[in-house]
Amino acid sequence: MSEEKLIFEKSAPGRRASTFPRLDVPALADGWLPASAKRGTALGLPEVSEQDLVRHYTRLSQRNIGIDTQIYPLGSCTMKYNPKVNEDVAGRDGFRNIHPLQPDDTAQGALEVLWEMEHWLSEVSGMPAISLQPSAGAQGELTALLVCKAYHDSKGRRPRKVLVPDSSHGTNPASASYCGYTVETVKSKADGTVDLDDLKPKITEDVACLMMTNPNTVGIFEKDIRQVAAWLHAVDAQLYYDGANLNAIVGLARPGDMGCDMMHFNVHKTFSTPHGGGGPGAGPIGVKEHLRAFLPVPRVRKAADGTFSLDESEPKSIGRIRSNTGNFGILLRGLVYLKSFGGDGVAEIAKRAVLNANYLLALLKDRFNAPYGDRCMHEFVLSVSEQKKAKDVSATDFAKGLADLGYHAPTIYFPLIVPEALMIEPVETEAKETLDELARVLIELDGEDPAKLHAAPVNTPVGRLDEVGAARNPILRWKP
């Protein structure tokens, strides 16, 4: 397949893709702006016709894939179907074209959406106090850690450490650093769970928080989580729940009941909002009562007469974590999704996600090394380190082989504790036949000629890329 030119390379001076009505008031007077403040360089934007613009991005979309075209078995990403009714709702004039600084009485519907979303998230998580502000999971983590620090500050305490499992997502330690904490790693046992013998002595008064996810990154439920919470609470340390894996337990168990003090939700994972090629998402947080006062502003309030408002008067709040009210359009889509399942249906999500994952694992475990056994929750990890040793076929080679067959790879090389890892999460929206096919394809690849896998992919618009060259000699923009 040939290259696709950049939009700038399709440009010709004088072409327009949109025009504007003639000005119906006097133009800006000469001298409205001193010469020293005027722009002197070209804008460097493309000049194309509307058709060429539309054709360009349509063709680019055809050099791309999404959940709407194929399964994405990416562990830790929860790539479930993105419902179209969510898009229709978000596109309604009354949701799309309202300014966040409008008076509250002109945005009662939007405020009610936020209020309801807080309620739904509170119910499914068991966390009484919610903030919908954070723009993504990582920002949610940061917000919760800032809340944690403010809580300890209010008690005159200065614990400096955050504990993080060695299987954790990179955002966990990165968020902790942002708050000025130092990060200490906790080992995992061979069965993938947190090593309690390694953890317990590390829980000192200098620990502010332990960040965990449950089930953990390798898809195993941390059954001792309440014991861990008790140890932490004995020194007034907090237990943080990374909500990335909530899909495994939603409607069946709640982080709030496990002893967690704070958590974030990934609305773009558990609650179906589209990943958009990398974002946007939303990362609301939930906290227990003792932390409520420190949550960011603004807060959504409901008065006795049923009217809603935004309120910034929270003296102990950590402040704003972002401008305005959060990624409203994403929260709205998440609420539509939740209402489509209802209190009577949410548990079905987790049940079928876990069923799908165990089924796919059953199909693969005899052929591939499954370091954590025959059972899992909503995701599982395989290792192809034996294939690497025997035939020099790595996790990357499997990923590229899958690409040649039209499949997006699972998550590779994560978690770091498993060599040549393939982390697979088949999500509940995938039918049995899709899983059968994926298993068949993976097994076929395992028997494939290594040379063919090393050369893969050959069926995609581009082949393997020179990532070394890209990093050594960065070309990060087009230049005329």
Report 117-176 residues binding another protein (CB under 8 A): 119-120, 123-124, 135-139, 141-142, 146, 149, 169-171, 173-176
Tokens of 48: 């194309």
User: Binding-site residue total for another protein (CB under 8 A)?
Assistant: 206
Could you give the angle at the alpha carbon of 337 between the alpha carbons of 334 and 338, nearest 5°? Answer: 90
Minimum distance, C-beta of residue 321 to another protein, in the bound complex (Å)? 6
Contact 336, 89 (CB under 8 A): yes
Helix (H) or strand (E) holding 308: strand 308-311
Q: What is the DSSP letter of 353?
A: H
**Nearest CA-CA partner of 158 in 186, 185, 142, 180:** 180
Distances (CA, A) of 469 to 158, 198, 230, 400, 466: 46, 42, 51, 19, 5
190 in contact with another protein (CB under 8 A): no
Minimum distance, C-beta of residue 231 to another protein, in the bound complex (Å)? 17
Binding-site member from 251, 284, 334, 426 for another protein (CB under 8 A): 251
321 in contact with another protein (CB under 8 A): yes
200 in contact with another protein (CB under 8 A): no
Binding-site member from 30, 197, 305, 466 for another protein (CB under 8 A): 466
373 in contact with another protein (CB under 8 A): no
Q: What is the DSSP letter of 261?
A: S
Q: How far apart are CA 352 and CA 363, in angstroms?
A: 16
Binding-site member from 93, 197, 305, 366 for another protein (CB under 8 A): 93
CA pseudo-torsion sign 317, 319, 323, 329:
negative
187 in contact with another protein (CB under 8 A): no
Tokens of 312: 């910034």
Minimum distance, C-beta of residue 402 to another protein, in the bound complex (Å)? 9
Strand 238-242 versus strand 262-264 pairing type = parallel
How far the first Cα of the chain sits from its last, in Å, is 25
Query: Taking CB under 8 A as the criterion, which residues in 254-283 touch another protein?
Result: 254, 257-258, 266, 268, 272, 274-281, 283
Binding-site member from 379, 429, 445, 453 for another protein (CB under 8 A): 429
104 in contact with another protein (CB under 8 A): no
Query: Taking CB under 8 A as the criterion, which residues in 18-57 touch another protein?
Result: 18-20, 23-29, 32-34, 36-48, 50, 53-54, 56-57
Query: Taking CB under 8 A as the criterion, which residues in 61-80 touch another protein?
Result: 61-69, 72, 74, 77, 79-80
210 in contact with another protein (CB under 8 A): no
Q: Spell out the residues 6+ positions from residue 28 whose beta carbon is closer than 8 angstroms to its own.
A: none
293 in contact with another protein (CB under 8 A): no
58 in contact with another protein (CB under 8 A): yes
